[in-house]
Structure 1
Amino acid sequence: LSDGSESIAIHPVGNLAMSWDHRAFDGAYAAGFLSKVKRVLETQDWSAEI
């Protein structure tokens, strides 16, 4: 932007993946589980854990 409000930044990134047997679990359950894991990872105060 012309006002100088844009910048290049480096942020930590991680990939989270999971595989499961569709005969045992419906994909909706797996997606819900990964959503909860994502929410915990994004909202937890990890600095307090160190």
Structure 2
Amino acid sequence: MPVFHYKARNARGESIEADIEAASADVVAGQLFNTGVTPITIIEQRHWST
């Protein structure tokens, strides 16, 4: 499952930044909204192998 890095604000306006594993960015946004957090950016993390 992909990992997404997000930046968001909680109900008090405080910035939050973290990584979360989810099926899609839409799923991440839904999870954040359900916990009272407003997403600002959600970016899928790319893992490059050599």
Fold shared per TM-score above 0.5: no
From the CA coordinates, give the structure whose radius of gyration is larger. 1
The two structures have a TM-score, normalised by structure 1, of 0.32
Higher relative contact order (CA 8 A, sep 6+): 2
In proportion to residue count, which structure has more helix?
1
The two structures have a TM-score, normalised by structure 2, of 0.32
